[in-house]
Chains A and B, each alone.
Chain A
């Protein structure tokens, strides 16, 4: 191998390359290092274990001789570690390198829509006019922010074909709660009591949790062998005590509920409301309007369909579009336009005629930082780009389904899927390899696993959502690896599964031990002297 003048290898002979990375060819002894670190992979202590009394922020040391703290001044230290800026930066950079990310590879988590997060979104959200704007600044100082919210509302109502939208919910589950509280208020306004909510067994866990949170009793509806909700069973459960159904469409099996319009009609005829979980809007945005399906309320995960970053688990945003029947019950704040411009109605008593807000979801007005990112994404795509993105997402999922269904088992693989392809663990029968093993083996191959064991309606589920962000080459590499893994499992080469992952920053972690004796925070080690006593 030759080197260029910057010391980089200009070519790697395939033979050497294979030897260097092939599992089993490097002995544990060869891998052992003096430091415990391995090349670019550093072990990193907890920030508390790096404490040496430094500080990473320079500030004047003002002493407050006569405070006005009402006698409530802190007596003891907090116990925070002290480090300089370079140490803090290095600590978090090292931690970051232990994470998988969309930016570094395909992230096929079904139901999570791990699409590309454009950096323009980040730049726009950080414009001081948005990022450094106080939520209670006078209306005259916030007209641009209110206009941005108004534009985003237009996009959301246009794309969904719904007349109204509540912007304050802070994530998908919070949006579900908002929708269900609007339904509750609407039923109360009719002078009725409807305690039950129908939820298909394939639903996201947030659906039954939300229904219970909003004070309803959850009644499960079974799925049919074709992966759709059993509409006959659903209709049989309808009655004067049913407040709503909560249905995901496309559903969590990655399938469109074809009878949706009739189901909505039946629910409405029985006096109930149709809550649609919008987690899978990325399959249909720009092609299908939920309003045309009979939906009364649907949250939109801006962090899924509209590319605001997932950030390791949040923040998200979950605006809820509402039908005419539910719009009057939208929570405060409400955005209105009058002669002087846009303003927020922050008190229910000031609501316009006909509006009966059910309450307030949170302080202030929602996830503005996510709104600016989502609007940036929408303006970038345009209506044509949004539609193309949905179609590419569906095309990519079907391409994966078509390319894997002969070696893996696709319970609903006879027809097309929407934006995610569902497999079960039938193809692993008799191999001794589980869905979990299979997923962990993907980690060694450089991939984040798909969603595992969800939805619950198939055994050992593997739900793959490639999104529209992958090139064909990237999809082909992924397919190649999954095919090879499936064949390996069937051929009885199970060692690579049982021990996986071997090449990640950690081997499999003991989750049972973590739950049995929870250690949820660092504690200062006892001094040696006391320990000896």
Chain B
């Protein structure tokens, strides 16, 4: 087996040193009844690199990649161009095959990029501090609600109907153990009246902007209303490229920002791994989940970085930790950081403008199709259409013709009859005029 360096002679010599007759002797503490032979496993035997590559390539060929078709899917995961240098750099052995930087003297590379990442996330979200990442946007949102419950010592969370339904379900699964989760009705293309629901039992209000239908929300009045009742505002962003053009949640008064960072530096990967961004105010630092990197000096007074405030974390605090998270999204944060460094201030602004211009142009064209209504008046790079018939079969029919038209809202809200005809369409810098022509023509034909 090509990955195993020990030869039969090596194994023999090592057993001699150990004083064991065979490897079986090393398993002597395992009950005999629990030891099995290879034949119990209905699995194949070892294969060469070429054979494995062939098998995987065959599986991959049965999927339709975003780059293979006119492609308009979003709803929490977005197709963006990732510069070649990003993937090259993250595959450097020293990044790819290192562990969590628990030995800072030989992990300054990881620690410094995490410090840069934390700074970038804080700047983008308009917050004071950010952590070194959580798993993804949905779990970051759940952690944000738990943090708000700890900070306010209240249980109730109000979840906007515009919050991605997968996010809402993730929040309910864990934070629902602690307090009541109230989901407002789903109002595609409109901001629901969430302020009326905030009372003095409310730990937090969770609002996504742009929301799952693409609608841009104004967080300021919600923040003011929440703060007036002693509650926190959690802002959720699933498309971080929007922050290149939109006012940051921090500037609008958010207390915690939970975001999905996949759009920058990371591929679609059928849903993961992605990177959860988590930022908050400095005063809430001690209740923050996840790893934090901090600046310090070494014994010679040189600047260096270490993991810090780990008394919040499970490996020190055990059952009193702020979260159980250990492994996070290390390499995805690196991809995020490198891509954002390549973009810089100017690149990020251009990318965001380009996305908005593309989506705006596409929305105008699609809205002219007979029977099609644009339901999101304001949007960034994603909007929702109401079709004259159910969107799910339309999307399937278009997929059969080689056009991935978007995400039918029914995929996310299967119990919501009003959502049946809604189609969520995203356009990014990767879309060409030919893509637009293909979508317009195919949709026209299908309706």
Query: In the bound complex, do residue B124 and residue A440 qualify as a contact, i.e. CB atoms below 8 Å apart?
Result: no
Q: Which of A60, A260, A313, A510 contacts B354 (CB 8 A)?
A: A60
For residue B256, CB closer than 8 A to chain A, the reply is no
- Measured between alpha carbons, how far is A474 from B123 in the docked complex, in Å? 45
Query: In the bound complex, do residue B100 and residue A255 qualify as a contact, i.e. CB atoms below 8 Å apart?
Result: no
Stretch at the interface among A14-22, A78-86, A426-434, A480-488: A78-86
Query: In the bound complex, do residue A292 and residue B411 qualify as a contact, i.e. CB atoms below 8 Å apart?
Result: no
For residue B443, CB closer than 8 A to chain A, the reply is no
- Measured between alpha carbons, how far is A470 from B42 in the docked complex, in Å? 29
- Measured between alpha carbons, how far is A74 from B247 in the docked complex, in Å? 4
How would residues 44 to 57 of chain B score, 1 for a CB under 8 Å from any chain A CB and 0 otherwise? 11110101110111
Q: Which residues on B sit within 8 Å (CB–CB) of A97? A: 94, 109
Query: In the bound complex, do residue B34 and residue A261 qualify as a contact, i.e. CB atoms below 8 Å apart?
Result: yes
- Measured between alpha carbons, how far is A61 from B414 in the docked complex, in Å? 40
How would residues 129 to 156 of chain A score, 1 for a CB under 8 Å from any chain B CB and 0 otherwise? 1111111111011111101100000110
Query: In the bound complex, do residue B18 and residue A402 qualify as a contact, i.e. CB atoms below 8 Å apart?
Result: yes
For residue A356, CB closer than 8 A to chain B, the reply is no
How would residues 16 to 35 of chain B score, 1 for a CB under 8 Å from any chain A CB and 0 otherwise? 01111001011111110111
Query: In the bound complex, do residue B319 and residue A514 qualify as a contact, i.e. CB atoms below 8 Å apart?
Result: no
Query: In the bound complex, do residue A313 and residue B330 qualify as a contact, i.e. CB atoms below 8 Å apart?
Result: yes
- Measured between alpha carbons, how far is A181 from B318 in the docked complex, in Å? 18
Q: Which residues on B sit within 8 Å (CB–CB) of A331? A: 173
For residue A300, CB closer than 8 A to chain B, the reply is no
Query: In the bound complex, do residue B270 and residue A134 qualify as a contact, i.e. CB atoms below 8 Å apart?
Result: yes
- Measured between alpha carbons, how far is A503 from B42 in the docked complex, in Å? 50
How would residues 343 to 357 of chain B score, 1 for a CB under 8 Å from any chain A CB and 0 otherwise? 111111111011011
Given known A133-B268, A158-B42, A181-B173, contact A399–B135 (CB-CB < 8 A)? no
- Closest Cβ–Cβ distance, residue B103 to chain A (whole Å): 6
- Measured between alpha carbons, how far is A391 from B320 in the docked complex, in Å? 37
Q: Which of B41, B302, B412, B414 contacts A383 (CB 8 A)?
A: B41
Q: Which residues on A sit within 8 Å (CB–CB) of B306? A: 509, 511, 514
For residue A501, CB closer than 8 A to chain B, the reply is yes
Query: In the bound complex, do residue B4 and residue A392 qualify as a contact, i.e. CB atoms below 8 Å apart?
Result: yes
Query: In the bound complex, do residue B52 and residue A379 qualify as a contact, i.e. CB atoms below 8 Å apart?
Result: yes
How would residues 79 to 100 of chain A score, 1 for a CB under 8 Å from any chain B CB and 0 otherwise? 1111101001101110111111
- Closest Cβ–Cβ distance, residue B263 to chain A (whole Å): 13
Query: In the bound complex, do residue B47 and residue A372 qualify as a contact, i.e. CB atoms below 8 Å apart?
Result: no
Query: In the bound complex, do residue A74 and residue B246 qualify as a contact, i.e. CB atoms below 8 Å apart?
Result: yes
Query: In the bound complex, do residue A205 and residue B316 qualify as a contact, i.e. CB atoms below 8 Å apart?
Result: yes
For residue B434, CB closer than 8 A to chain A, the reply is no
Interface hits, B315-338 → A, CB 8 Å: 315-321, 323-332, 334, 337-338
Query: In the bound complex, do residue B77 and residue A514 qualify as a contact, i.e. CB atoms below 8 Å apart?
Result: no
Interface hits, B154-189 → A, CB 8 Å: 164, 166-167, 169-170, 172-174, 176-178
Our count of residue pairs bridging A and B at CB distance below 8 angstroms stands at: 723
- Closest Cβ–Cβ distance, residue A106 to chain B (whole Å): 11
Among B14, B97, B275, B327, chain A packs the most CB atoms within 10 A around the CB of B327
- Closest Cβ–Cβ distance, residue A439 to chain B (whole Å): 7
- Measured between alpha carbons, how far is A85 from B317 in the docked complex, in Å? 42
Interface hits, B384-437 → A, CB 8 Å: 395-396, 399-400, 404, 407, 411-412, 414-415, 429
- Closest Cβ–Cβ distance, residue A73 to chain B (whole Å): 6
Query: In the bound complex, do residue B296 and residue A514 qualify as a contact, i.e. CB atoms below 8 Å apart?
Result: yes
Query: In the bound complex, do residue A363 and residue B167 qualify as a contact, i.e. CB atoms below 8 Å apart?
Result: yes
Q: Which residues on B sit within 8 Å (CB–CB) of A440? A: 105
Q: Which residues on A sit within 8 Å (CB–CB) of B291? A: 313
Query: In the bound complex, do residue B103 and residue A100 qualify as a contact, i.e. CB atoms below 8 Å apart?
Result: yes
For residue B137, CB closer than 8 A to chain A, the reply is yes
- Measured between alpha carbons, how far is A106 from B97 in the docked complex, in Å? 11
- Measured between alpha carbons, how far is A375 from B44 in the docked complex, in Å? 12
Q: Which residues on A sit within 8 Å (CB–CB) of B226? A: none
- Measured between alpha carbons, how far is A499 from B310 in the docked complex, in Å? 24
Q: Which of B43, B44, B130, B139 contacts A170 (CB 8 A)?
A: B139
Among B67, B113, B293, chain A packs the most CB atoms within 10 A around the CB of B113
For residue A211, CB closer than 8 A to chain B, the reply is yes
Query: In the bound complex, do residue B20 and residue A416 qualify as a contact, i.e. CB atoms below 8 Å apart?
Result: yes
Query: In the bound complex, do residue B329 and residue A314 qualify as a contact, i.e. CB atoms below 8 Å apart?
Result: yes
Given known A85-B85, A443-B103, contact A129–B60 (CB-CB < 8 A)? yes
For residue A194, CB closer than 8 A to chain B, the reply is no
Query: In the bound complex, do residue B96 and residue A521 qualify as a contact, i.e. CB atoms below 8 Å apart?
Result: no
- Measured between alpha carbons, how far is A206 from B315 in the docked complex, in Å? 7
For residue A174, CB closer than 8 A to chain B, the reply is yes
Query: In the bound complex, do residue A314 and residue B46 qualify as a contact, i.e. CB atoms below 8 Å apart?
Result: no
- Closest Cβ–Cβ distance, residue B158 to chain A (whole Å): 19
For residue A284, CB closer than 8 A to chain B, the reply is yes
Query: In the bound complex, do residue A127 and residue B344 qualify as a contact, i.e. CB atoms below 8 Å apart?
Result: no
- Measured between alpha carbons, how far is A238 from B347 in the docked complex, in Å? 61
Query: In the bound complex, do residue B293 and residue A391 qualify as a contact, i.e. CB atoms below 8 Å apart?
Result: no
Interface hits, B236-255 → A, CB 8 Å: 243-248, 251
For residue B118, CB closer than 8 A to chain A, the reply is yes
- Nearest A residue to B219 by beta-carbon distance? A72
How would residues 89 to 111 of chain B score, 1 for a CB under 8 Å from any chain A CB and 0 otherwise? 11111111111110111111110
Q: Which of B83, B137, B346 contacts A82 (CB 8 A)?
A: B346
Q: Which residues on B sit within 8 Å (CB–CB) of A310? A: 97-100, 327, 330
For residue A116, CB closer than 8 A to chain B, the reply is yes
- Measured between alpha carbons, how far is A214 from B323 in the docked complex, in Å? 11
Query: In the bound complex, do residue B76 and residue A213 qualify as a contact, i.e. CB atoms below 8 Å apart?
Result: no
- Nearest A residue to B71 by beta-carbon distance? A134
Among A68, A140, A379, chain B packs the most CB atoms within 10 A around the CB of A68
Stretch at the interface among B5-13, B196-204, B227-235: B5-13
- Nearest A residue to B177 by beta-carbon distance? A215
Query: In the bound complex, do residue A287 and residue B35 qualify as a contact, i.e. CB atoms below 8 Å apart?
Result: yes
- Closest Cβ–Cβ distance, residue B130 to chain A (whole Å): 7
Query: In the bound complex, do residue A62 and residue B92 qualify as a contact, i.e. CB atoms below 8 Å apart?
Result: no
Query: In the bound complex, do residue A96 and residue B17 qualify as a contact, i.e. CB atoms below 8 Å apart?
Result: no
- Nearest A residue to B44 by beta-carbon distance? A382
Q: Which residues on B sit within 8 Å (CB–CB) of A475? A: 14
- Measured between alpha carbons, how far is A411 from B176 in the docked complex, in Å? 44
For residue B73, CB closer than 8 A to chain A, the reply is yes
Among A82, A103, A364, A501, chain B packs the most CB atoms within 10 A around the CB of A364
Query: In the bound complex, do residue A173 and residue B73 qualify as a contact, i.e. CB atoms below 8 Å apart?
Result: no
For residue A268, CB closer than 8 A to chain B, the reply is no
Query: In the bound complex, do residue A518 and residue B31 qualify as a contact, i.e. CB atoms below 8 Å apart?
Result: no
- Measured between alpha carbons, how far is A251 from B199 in the docked complex, in Å? 48
For residue A339, CB closer than 8 A to chain B, the reply is no
Q: Which residues on B sit within 8 Å (CB–CB) of A177? A: 174, 324
Given known A55-B347, A136-B407, contact A103–B62 (CB-CB < 8 A)? no
How would residues 117 to 129 of chain A score, 1 for a CB under 8 Å from any chain B CB and 0 otherwise? 1101011111111
Query: In the bound complex, do residue A509 and residue B105 qualify as a contact, i.e. CB atoms below 8 Å apart?
Result: yes
Q: Which residues on B sit within 8 Å (CB–CB) of A55? A: 342-344, 346-347, 350
For residue A369, CB closer than 8 A to chain B, the reply is yes
Query: In the bound complex, do residue B315 and residue A99 qualify as a contact, i.e. CB atoms below 8 Å apart?
Result: no
- Closest Cβ–Cβ distance, residue A336 to chain B (whole Å): 15
Query: In the bound complex, do residue B353 and residue A205 qualify as a contact, i.e. CB atoms below 8 Å apart?
Result: no
- Measured between alpha carbons, how far is A92 from B271 in the docked complex, in Å? 27
Given known A98-B107, A303-B327, A514-B295, contact A402–B218 (CB-CB < 8 A)? no
Query: In the bound complex, do residue B273 and residue A370 qualify as a contact, i.e. CB atoms below 8 Å apart?
Result: yes
Query: In the bound complex, do residue A387 and residue B53 qualify as a contact, i.e. CB atoms below 8 Å apart?
Result: no
- Closest Cβ–Cβ distance, residue A371 to chain B (whole Å): 9
- Closest Cβ–Cβ distance, residue A323 to chain B (whole Å): 15
- Measured between alpha carbons, how far is A240 from B433 in the docked complex, in Å? 66
Stretch at the interface among A2-10, A344-352, A489-497: A344-352
- Measured between alpha carbons, how far is A81 from B18 in the docked complex, in Å? 57
- Closest Cβ–Cβ distance, residue B66 to chain A (whole Å): 5
- Closest Cβ–Cβ distance, residue A321 to chain B (whole Å): 14
Query: In the bound complex, do residue A388 and residue B4 qualify as a contact, i.e. CB atoms below 8 Å apart?
Result: yes
| CB-CB nearest 6 A-B residue pairs | A129-B60, A364-B271, A70-B378, A311-B331, A144-B62, A359-B173
Known: A134-B71, A171-B135, A381-B3; 13 extra A-B contacts, CB below 8 A, are: A46-B116, A92-B341, A103-B93, A135-B270, A205-B313, A209-B317, A284-B30, A312-B95, A314-B330, A392-B6, A448-B99, A499-B299, A515-B294
